[in-house]
Chain A
Amino acid sequence: MTTQTALPEGPILTADGIPLKDSLQKSLRQNKLRAMFLVSTPLLFLVFLFIIPIGNMLTRSVDDTFINRVLPSTIEAFESWDKVSEPPESLYSAFVNDVKAADKVDIGKVSTRMNYAKPGWKSLVKRTARKIKKLKGPEYKDDLIKIDKRWADKEFWLSLGIMKDKATFGYFLNAVDKTYDFDKNIIDVEEERKVYNTLWYRTLLVSFIVTIACLILSYPVAYLLATLPMRISNLLMICVLMPFWTSLLVRIVAWMIMLQQNGVVNDTLVASGILSDENRLAMMYNFNGTIIVMTQILLPFMILPLYSVMKTIPPTYMKAAQNLGATPTLAFIRVYMPQTIPGIGAGCILVFIVAIGYYITPELVGGKDGRLIGNMVAYHMQKSLNWGLAAAMGSILLAAILLLYWLYDRIIGIDNMKMG
């Protein structure tokens, strides 16, 4: 029999009379501090490399405060205008005063922003700003119209209506070929200015095709990697990883040499008589080029998760299935493949996510009809400097990826994912 001291009434005490709870807390505090310290470094990384940039991107995609800062009195005068009568003198003078007060660079930027709402703003402001310093006032309406008769056009002034708010969905609308009219109704952009929807559609299509192609090509490779004897499979693994050690550009250039009109593939096909010289295949600077090269580049992202799952499947399952009467093929389909689903899921998600935002390969081998949305993001980041639109596109990509994760979790369960 073990003896047991009777529990005293009230809080339980430790041997030296301190309440057990306090004692426990004290002993846990140190652990907590240590844990907090250990967590802080990755947390900082997360904040600086992930949360802040993404937050910034999301903010930029809707941010429209700049115009309020540079042209505050213009917006004020616009608010007090009834929008039905001709633009009043107060609007013109407010604008001139704002421009006089503002920094030159800011004027340039704000006119760019205004140009997204109504094309023409940029040239109009640019042209006027140069001469505006010389205007004496106090009345400006006639002076401005003299400088450029577009100033008499009510449309320009009305377009301020979709810029005056501090936040806008305009960039998101632009990203899917829509826009606001001046009453803030969502309308399609003109037919000849539609570009992005085709690109979105093509991006999804390419990502989908590339994912499927990667899966089909990777599955047997991963299976061999997982089942061949160590010595051979190590060699094979090196071949799989080799591309990772080679510059992306080098690989793309290699593909260009392979795929061009007078490239290795076409030459071989012609030489072997399969193709006639006039019918050389166009495998580059088009949709096909993007597909072929992206598939090859993304293969390891599929092979590795598949391999890591297959490696954990003992060969006895296949034996058991055959022992129970299944042909090797049936055993593979019914018993082996279902167990690789976590790897298939992880690989597909990984490849799809990388593919959906890809831009180097399409840029170099995609030509006109192999461009993807990622190229547009890059274009707006680097060339047109429309960061708002780039950010909106980035946000849509992010949302698409999150949606994908959510779907995956619903169908397969995120816990089942094995990345490697």
Chain B
Amino acid sequence: MPSENALVRFVDIQKSYDGESLVVKNLNLDVAKGEFLTMLGPSGSGKTTCLMMLAGFEPATHGEIYLKENPINKVPPHKRGIGMVFQNYALFPHMTVAENLAFPLEVRQIDKSERETRVKRALDMVQLGAFGDRRPAQLSGGQQQRVAVARSLVFDPDLVLMDEPLGALDKNLREQMQYEIKHIHENLGLTVVYVTHDQSEALTMSNRIAVFDDGIIQQCAPPEDLYERPENAFCANFIGENNRLLGNIIEDHGDSIKVEIDNDAGVVEAKKVNVGDIGSRTTLSLRPERVTVNPEPGEVPNIFSGKAEELIYLGDHIRTRFTVCGHDDFIVKIPNSAAHAHLKEGDTVNIGWNVEDCRALDPSD
């Protein structure tokens, strides 16, 4: 229900393009003022659709969107005053960079001198002060991206939407732009709704991440919560690396449960997060860096023997693939330090983990 300083509220939003299937299913989401909220999800999960509804280019089939507590379903896009960075930038090719930036000011009938100062300020903000007279086609991808960001901000919107703005850039540039966008967000106190399918981008930039799958928000939480405490198998899998063990619940101890892994591969004690009653199925989720190799007896409750199948040397850690409990895709990250085990392929060792680190989630499939 209405939280005090929500800038944007999606209330019971549903969206269908064809009248047969829902692309967005019952979306409820608040975006606080000053927040950097990322919609993260695989392609086709409805992220762009949500953004388009917020920007006013797609009507919601059901539900209401509020901007500063005002319902905006009937407000046309040009009256919403929301900045937006499009996926392919959508810089007007027949205008120079400066004209592109002046456009939103011109249509707001801001006078010429004011326009020029604001265009200059926005260009300086993205370090493109000298490029005002160029055409967008004469800029590199990264520069176009900055112009697009500058243009979305030049008319001082409170809210800026960005739809995979960095998708077309190469890796280095992408990382650099992530920081720049983040700094702009912090410096200007903007509210940003950001769309990406790149989980590391989402983790780097966001205050909060809404994980989309199939038109549903699977979880909406700050990055560290999402990584450390995923609430369902989809999130655990989608964000970061994750080992999965499937099994049936055989004991329930309140906080923890005991799970019998399929094919009688052993019993694991796990933290109870998102499971049914005794006898129902569950997916155990375990981060590769939370697994100990050769634990002291009694150090951890779950100890199994595993056979090292493959070792990949990655400098700071060694990525090792084990066969454990009948799963041959069990990944462990062994830190590269003197104290840690040095394995060879084919070695069989004990590996173990804590109850806290092994989260029992919904049976995903």
Contact = CB atoms under 8 A, between A and B. Distances in A.
A325 B92 contact: no
B81 A325 contact: yes
A324 B103 contact: yes
A328 B79 CA distance: 11
Contact of B84 (A323, A327, A338, A339): A323
Contacts of B57: 319, 322
A93 B45 CA distance: 102
B118 to A, nearest CB: 13
Q: Which secondary structure characterizes the binding site on chain B?
A: loop
A314 B93 CA distance: 11
A334 B100 CA distance: 11
B168 to A, nearest CB: 13
Nearest to B161: A323
Interface residues of B, number: 24
Contacts of A326: 78, 103, 107
A312 to B, nearest CB: 11
B266 to A, nearest CB: 54
A319 B94 contact: no
Given A326-B103, A330-B107, A339-B94, A320 B86 contact: yes
B151 A324 contact: yes
Contacts of B55: 319, 323
Interface in B64-92: 76-78, 80-84, 86-88, 90, 92
Contact of B90 (A316, A327, A328, A341): A316
B86 A319 contact: yes
Interface string B132-151: 00000000000000000001
B53 to A, nearest CB: 13
A328 B107 CA distance: 12
B93 A324 contact: no
A127 to B, nearest CB: 70
A285 B292 CA distance: 97
Nearest to A319: B57
A320 B56 CA distance: 11
B78, B151, B155 — which one has the most chain A CB atoms within 10 A of its CB?
B78
B107 A319 contact: no
A353 to B, nearest CB: 26
B108 interface: yes
A334 B90 CA distance: 14
A316 B155 CA distance: 19
B88 A324 contact: no
Contacts of A325: 78, 81, 104, 107-108, 155
A320 B81 CA distance: 12
A314 B91 CA distance: 11
A328 B57 CA distance: 12
A314 B90 contact: yes
B315 to A, nearest CB: 25
Interface in A332-347: 334-335, 338-339, 341
Contacts of A330: 107
A317 B82 contact: no
Contacts of A341: 94
Interface string A286-326: 00000000000000000000000000001011011111111
Q: List the 8 closest A-B pairs by CB distance, nearest first.
A: A320-B90, A324-B104, A316-B90, A322-B77, A338-B94, A326-B107, A325-B107, A322-B78
20 contacts: A314-B90, A316-B86, A317-B90, A320-B90, A322-B76, A323-B78, A323-B82, A323-B84, A324-B78, A324-B151, A325-B81, A325-B108, A325-B155, A327-B76, A327-B78, A330-B107, A334-B103, A334-B107, A339-B92, A339-B93
Interface of B: 55-57, 76-78, 80-84, 86-88, 90, 92-94, 103-104, 107-108, 151, 155
